[in-house]
């Protein structure tokens, strides 16, 4: 999604944009947005399974060659790396062909691919300030996100919400977050407010057998997710890069960081929002239905505090992030063409 937000700005400036990705969500999202997608076979580097880690390394090596052939055909003026494991082989191929490289980092630490590529990148665009990552090579832009939905009334109407309804949005990524899913279904089974819950594809079928109340709208995923953020009064979520979408919508949050995230970066992300007064942080190991129900009940019982959190969330937004990253890519491409 951050890459698509930047691509829109690049296309608006007259640039041609082609994506190189894996075989996950981008297979549907990128063509649906009107962009060409070339795919390579890659997978994440397992930190617990040596055999899977070895397979990932072998696939990455083969992917560099495939990416090199793609770049040789396209002859791009610049390459933008999105920070995931797909970015490693494509970035290495770009450097090998002397194509200027710009990187983006969505989290509060550099991932493996970005740590490898950053010393030779023209610019590294950071979502957060990162200790030790300063100087001309680094720029804090925030995380690019799609423009927030401005028609809140239409967004609420989409989900059948009345003006007087309070609504909690629960989500945890494309697969979902099992601990959040379990706590929410139990905590909000008889809640006096509306619940909009994107449970992910993994858990949805099992959870659906336990949810029958009219106030509880359980879905595997939500298309046009910005409308869900605009429609709700409070969200319960993990603390990955989506916190910038939460901030863009000015939504208060209860954040439950994923405890196994690399370098525990989700906790750092969540603490950043908490320090600004925009979120409450509940460690995954402390999340129970009782705790979640109490936290949400306390916030809905204190409208002044909830409003202050909404304003603090909106103050963290970086609405110019996508344009800032696009400007860096365009400047890099222009410099390469002028040589």
pLDDT digits (tens, 9 = 90+) for 72-118: 999 999 999 987 778 889 999 999 999 999 999 988 888 888 999 99
pLDDT tens digits, one per residue of 203-237 = 899 999 999 889 999 999 898 899 999 999 999 99
User: What is the reported pLDDT for 303?
Assistant: 96
Alpha-carbon distance 168 to 302, whole Å? 15
CATH number of 2-146+319-338: 3.40.50.2000
Helices (H) and strands (E) in the chain, counts: 14, 12
Q: 10-residue block means of pLDDT along the chain (339 residues)?
A: 93 96 83 92 65 66 86 96 84 95 89 90 92 89 91 96 95 82 96 95 90 92 92 96 92 95 87 96 97 97 97 94 96 74
Residue 243 has, within 13 A of its CA and on its CB side, a CA count of 35
Residue 197 is given by DSSP the state E
- Whether 88 and 95 have beta carbons less than 8 Å apart is answered as no
CATH superfamily of the domain spanning 152-315? Glycogen Phosphorylase B; (3.40.50.2000)
Calpha distance 126→299 (Å, rounded): 32
Q: CATH 3.40.50.2000 residue ranges in the chain?
A: 2-146+319-338, 152-315
Is the distance from CB of 321 to CB of 1 less than 8 angstroms?
Answer: no
In SS3 terms, 143-170 reads as CCCCCCCCCHHHHHHHCCCCCCCCEEEE
State the pTM of this model. 0.82
% of residues, the chain, pLDDT over 70: 92
* Three-state secondary-structure class, residue 196: strand
Q: CA nearest 173: which of 145, 193, 196, 201?
A: 201
Integer Cα distance of 189 and 205 in angstroms: 17
């Amino acid at each position: 999604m951050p890459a698509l937000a930047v691509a829109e700005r690049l296309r608006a400036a007259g640039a041609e944009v082609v994506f190189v990705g894996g075989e996950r969500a981008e297979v549907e999202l990128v063509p649906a947005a009107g962009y060409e997608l070339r795919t390579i076979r890659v997978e994440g580097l397992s930190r617990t399974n040596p055999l899977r880690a070895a397979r990932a390394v072998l696939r990455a090596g083969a992917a560099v060659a495939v990416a090199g052939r793609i770049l040789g055909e396209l002859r791009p003026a610049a390459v933008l790396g999105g920070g995931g494991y797909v970015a490693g082989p494509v970035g290495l191929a770009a450097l090998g062909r002397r194509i200027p490289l710009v990187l983006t980092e969505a989290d509060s630490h550099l991932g493996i691919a970005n740590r490898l590529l950053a010393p030779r990148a023209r610019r590294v665009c950071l979502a957060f300030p990162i200790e030790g990552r300063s100087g001309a090579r680094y720029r804090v832009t925030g995380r690019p996100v799609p423009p927030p939905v401005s028609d809140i009334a239409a967004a609420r109407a989409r989900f059948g919400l009345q003006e007087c309804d309070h609504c909690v949005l629960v989500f945890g990524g494309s697969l979902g977050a099992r601990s959040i899913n379990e706590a929410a279904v139990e905590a909000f089974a008889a809640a006096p407010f509306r619940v909009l819950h994107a449970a992910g594809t993994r858990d949805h079928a099992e959870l659906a057998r336990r949810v029958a109340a009219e106030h509880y709208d359980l879905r595997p995923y939500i298309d046009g997710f910005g409308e869900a953020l605009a429609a709700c009064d409070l969200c319960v979520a993990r603390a990955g890069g989506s916190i910038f979408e939460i901030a863009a919508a000015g939504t208060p949050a209860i954040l439950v960081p994923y405890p196994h995230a690399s370098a525990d970066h989700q906790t750092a992300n969540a603490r950043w929002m908490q320090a600004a007064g925009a979120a409450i942080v509940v460690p995954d190991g402390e999340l129970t239905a009782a705790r979640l129900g109490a936290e949400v009940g306390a916030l809905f019982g204190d409208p002044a505090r909830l409003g202050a959190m909404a304003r603090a969330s909106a103050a963290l937004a970086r609405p110019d992030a996508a344009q800032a990253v696009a400007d860096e890519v365009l400047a890099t491409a222009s410099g390469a063409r002028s040589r």
